[in-house]
Chain A
Amino acid sequence: MKKLVALLVAMMMLTAMLPVMAMADSAIDTSEHVVITYLVTGDIPTNRTEEVLAKINEKLTEKVNAELKIRWIEWTDWTTKYNLALATQSGDIDLIGTATDWLNAWPNIQKGAFLPLSEDMLKTYAPKTWEQVPAENWELCKYNGEIYLMPEDHYAQWTNHGFMYRGDWAREAGLENGVHSWADLAVYFQYIKDNKPDVIPWDANGNGSSYGPQMAGGWQTSHTTNVYIEGIGVDLFYGVSKDDPYTLSNYYIEGDELVNFAKEMKKWADAGYWRTDVLNYTGDVAAEMEEGKTGAHQHHTQTWTGERTTMEKKQPGSDLGFFWFGEEMNNVVGLNITHGAMAVAMTSKNPERALMVYDLMRNDPEIYRLMQYGIEGDMYTIDENGYIVRPEGYEQSKDGVDLNYWWGRNDDLELRDGKKDWEAIDALYAAYDAVKINYPYGRVVFDLANVQMYLDNLSNVYNTYMPRIVFGMMDDPEAYVAEFRAQLKAAGIDICMQEIQRQLDAVYGK
């Protein structure tokens, strides 16, 4: 009996060592065909995605004997479904598109949803990615000393918010250089109100929960030097300035700027820049702007780059401009490199192959362009300037491919869309680059378990008061802000600030 046990143990040890031996060998064993499931947010596309995916899988099979299967988290209730998929994973997902700002990557890492990726693993199975990401960027993907994320750090994009406005109407309003401040914006809105009876200056759909943080943060970064700290869940926490980022700002506790915001927005509300029942309105602002029914749309830079072209087609001469939040104070932060990142699922049965597939998705020119643009010669061609040209009558929703690959785009392989107004876009990007700072909080991963109860209550207070401040729906702005601040105090903002300050100090030293 003892002998049998000894034999079994020996066999088990041998089996356990096999993968190690395989790794030691430079040739990676890919004799078994595996399916890598990739979890991604987005609606199931009805265009030619399936067809292109089959082509991608041919290539993947050829190169690493694996194929990609996509599990879509559709936009309806996506936050719940996404987090549930991570919580209930059982080897059914391998690659996960994630983000530290909008997809809760850090809390998910703390809850054990992702696999730690050792340097050896990355070097062996995702060598090109390992090379491409500089050491200091890998540092920003670590939690407790281990790498969990592969960042989208080789792709320039701007998702800072602001207002799109019509250049033609701005000039009519006497703003020769366009809108460059909140004061200009008021002039622009007032001009529309006075001169275009069928147009609502900004037909905001105030029903969503995103306007609060976007507008409130927009005013704050335009009128103070404050720098936003992401990943806390309630947008009440900012650093003082780019020169003193690791001291928390008291903007929401005291000072006049928040009161000024409420006063100004009340003025705008009373002047009728948006509809009376804005808080319950759910219309599509972009579509209204394209139809000429509203004069502005609040969203981010990336949206504007596409919208400018669309508007030129639908409202010729509209010369859609972009007033970015922070412009008055030159206060803009470059996109955090983990705004998009790929992670490997904790329960993945084939983490090695998953990494190999990701390495190809990110770095293989053929596979990358299939994923991003489709089949060359059929779905697009490249013109003499290197711009991508779509065939006549091409429609993305019908003829394109949509893999929502936002977790490792690569500027070396990207093709610029010849239809976009690159002159205007490059000018704006240059303006950003001249003043931007890099996201200063990349190294801190907050552990909020101890204050979560207070944060939840703060979230309630914020989401109760902020929508009304943003849309000026109160009789006495000063009193209303005072009430908001009293409620924040009661909900425990001081305790949370203390804890967050303590964790900042622990990482950045003080």
Chain B
Amino acid sequence: MVSANKKGVAVNQKSYRKPSLWHVIAQNKTLLLMCVPAIVFFFVFSYMPMPGAYIAFTNFQYNKGIWASPFVGMQNFKFLFQSGQLGLLLRNTILYNLAFIVLGNVLQLTFAILLNEVQSKRYKKVTQSMMFLPYFISDVLVSLLVYNLLNYDYGFISNLVRALGGEMPKVYQMAGAWPIIIVLVNLWKGTGYGTVVYFAAITGMDSSMLEAAQIDGANGFQRIRYIILPTLKPTVVILFLFAIGGILKGNFGLFYNLVGNNSMLFGTTDIIETYVYRSMMNSFNFSQSSAVGLFQSVVGFFIVIGANAFVKKLDSDYALF
């Protein structure tokens, strides 16, 4: 693992002198080489476009380009605050993301550990693939599935309930039901993917620890509780820190397809992205939409910094930087 090795180098050198940058690079050249594609990717798609965020402060003119367009200061940011909806949008966006992050990680961790305990290789492979599949189903199809299950007149569940003599509620008019539905759908879609990450971390663990525990008489639960979980802690913390940076960003595809323009559900389902879409679908204002994106990124940035500082305070080994 990259992090383990980097740390290893640092520890070895500390007793002599602070290693020079070149030395570190030379020592880790193979690992760094393996990182190059990722570094290039983030440089090209995340760092190079960054100056372009300036567009959020301009009245963008196509023929003048970003830099020569008239500067308008914070005007593009105003609309989000002027609407009076920001509180609701922030609440929904953050609560959904927290639910996704917390429940998602718990489920992924659980499934990864359960998978690890399964002995049959074939069963393991098949289960993993089956769990992974929903990840590839587009949100449009997911929304159709949900509609065909839940719609009042002809839905599968509605028919089932009626056949059993029950009274089907009008789910598409119940705002309260949707946080549960959306979180469930999101978990169904994402758990398989996340499980693989944790499963890889478990597979990468030093097996001698587990063997030693076994010899010392630790049972299955004790192995999980005292060996596997503590070893996974850094991975959990890192994934959590990564995820929390996007806490103001919503999954537009999922929310828009499931809810659409059904405003009876907006109270509990409206997130920043869907609101921006509804407001700007007819004006195509690149500057204003960039302003919203920048706002989300800047807030996300400070949240990551804050969370990282917090983690550092608890245990500096686990912090990102």
Contact = CB atoms under 8 A, between A and B. Distances in A.
Given A234-B282, A459-B281, A276 B170 contact: yes
A89 B59 CA distance: 18
A85 to B, nearest CB: 10
Nearest to A86: B62
Contact of B147 (A234, A282, A473, A491): A282
Interface string B249-288: 0000000000111111010000000010011111111101
Given A452-B79, A460-B275, A468-B264, 4 more contacts: A80-B284, A456-B285, A463-B263, A491-B83
A155 B61 CA distance: 33
Nearest to A459: B279
A104 B147 CA distance: 33
27 contacts: A89-B62, A104-B284, A111-B60, A113-B62, A207-B260, A209-B261, A234-B282, A275-B153, A275-B154, A276-B170, A277-B147, A277-B152, A279-B260, A280-B143, A280-B259, A452-B283, A453-B75, A456-B79, A456-B283, A456-B285, A456-B288, A457-B79, A459-B281, A459-B282, A460-B83, A464-B266, A467-B263
Interface string B150-183: 0111100000000000000010110000000000
A460 B279 contact: yes
3 nearest CB pairs, A to B:
A112-B63, A233-B282, A279-B262
Contacts of B31: none
A452 to B, nearest CB: 6
B252 to A, nearest CB: 11
Interface in B45-79: 59-64, 75, 78-79
Contacts of A281: 147, 151
| B: interface residue count bin | 35 or more
A268 to B, nearest CB: 15
B144 interface: yes
A306 B75 CA distance: 48
A490 B83 CA distance: 9
A455 B283 CA distance: 9
Contacts of B264: 279, 468, 473
Given A107-B283, A108-B62, A280 B153 contact: no
B30 interface: no
Interface in A77-124: 79-80, 83, 86-87, 89, 104, 107-108, 111-113
Nearest to A208: B261
A275 B153 CA distance: 7
Contacts of A453: 75, 78-79, 82
| A: interface residue count bin | 35 or more
A113 B63 contact: yes
Nearest to B270: A464
A183 interface: no
B84 interface: yes
A327 to B, nearest CB: 27
Contacts of B154: 275
A465 interface: yes
Nearest to B170: A276
A87 B151 contact: no
Nearest to B55: A87
A402 B3 CA distance: 56
A277 B261 CA distance: 12
A27 interface: no
Given A111-B62, A209-B261, A460 B278 contact: yes
Nearest to A473: B264
Contacts of B75: 453
A449 interface: yes
Interface of A is mostly: helix
Contacts of B60: 87, 111
Given A460-B278, A467-B261, A452 B83 contact: no
Contact of A280 (B84, B172, B279, B284): B172
A428 to B, nearest CB: 30
Interface string A56-67: 000000000000
Contact of A79 (B63, B144, B262, B284): B284
A206 B172 CA distance: 13
Contacts, number: 116
A216 interface: no
A491 B275 CA distance: 14
Nearest to A276: B152
A316 B264 CA distance: 40
Given A207-B261, A279-B262, A107 B284 contact: yes
A346 interface: yes
Interface string B74-100: 010011001111000000000000000
A242 B85 CA distance: 38
B153 A277 contact: yes
Interface in A29-64: none
A468 B284 contact: no
A451 to B, nearest CB: 11
B261 A490 contact: no
Nearest to A467: B261
Nearest to B144: A282
A421 to B, nearest CB: 34
A183 to B, nearest CB: 26
Contacts of B59: 449
Most B C-beta atoms less than 10 A away, residue of A89, A208, A281: A281
B172 A277 contact: yes
B257 to A, nearest CB: 9
Contacts of B147: 277, 280-282
B150 to A, nearest CB: 8
A233 B264 CA distance: 23
A274 to B, nearest CB: 10
Nearest to A448: B283
Interface in A403-457: 449, 452-453, 455-457
A456 B276 CA distance: 9
Contacts of A346: 62-63
Most A C-beta atoms less than 10 A away, residue of B84, B260, B266: B260
A20 B304 CA distance: 60
Contacts of B288: 452, 456
A193 to B, nearest CB: 13
Contact of A465 (B62, B143, B263, B279): B263
A279 B62 contact: no
Contacts of B85: 460
Interface string A232-264: 011000000000000000000000000000000
Contacts of A234: 282
Contact of B263 (A86, A449, A459, A468): A468
Most B C-beta atoms less than 10 A away, residue of A79, A233, A460: A460
Contact of A473 (B78, B79, B173, B279): B173
Given A112-B64, A464-B266, A456 B280 contact: yes
A110 B46 CA distance: 30
Most A C-beta atoms less than 10 A away, residue of B60, B62, B153, B278: B62
Most B C-beta atoms less than 10 A away, residue of A280, A459, A460: A280
A339 to B, nearest CB: 17
Contacts of A83: 284, 286
A207 B170 CA distance: 17
B237 to A, nearest CB: 37
